[in-house]
Structure 1
Amino acid sequence: MPKSINIPADPHRVALDEIKVRQRTRKESGIPKTVTLEILYQAQMDILENQARIENRQLEILKLLMEGR
């Protein structure tokens, strides 16, 4: 019998943590002297990816609530 139980990480939480790490890395590197389109694109993609994850999670919760009725 195993002495420990392995509970897999929530994929939503893992993805959110990855986004937070990217944002924190950008923030810690300081404000660049020039802002490039690449920097703006990366920041915008993180925001949109996070928004999509939130919307998908909300739809999952709504679906579960509707099934419970």
Structure 2
Amino acid sequence: MRTISSSVSVRLYHLDHSGEGGAATTLFYGPLGEAMMLAAQEPEEVQAGLYLATENDVVAYLDLDD
């Protein structure tokens, strides 16, 4: 992710691979810092499918959480 400011707007979504083609469910739109806090509250099995998208990048939540 190119942007590192906690105030940058992101889309936090869950990508479900269980169905045909998978499905993306948006959980939150707003500041990165708040999205990270919300993602941390999700169970581990949900966190594995969480992604954060800015206007120019997408990154897996677990890649940022390390």
Tell me if both proteins adopt one fold, taking TM over 0.5 as the criterion. no
Determine which structure has greater relative contact order: mean sequence separation of CA pairs < 8 Å that are 6+ residues apart, divided by chain length.
Answer: 1
Q: TM-score, normalised by structure 2?
A: 0.29
Q: Which has the higher helix share?
A: 1
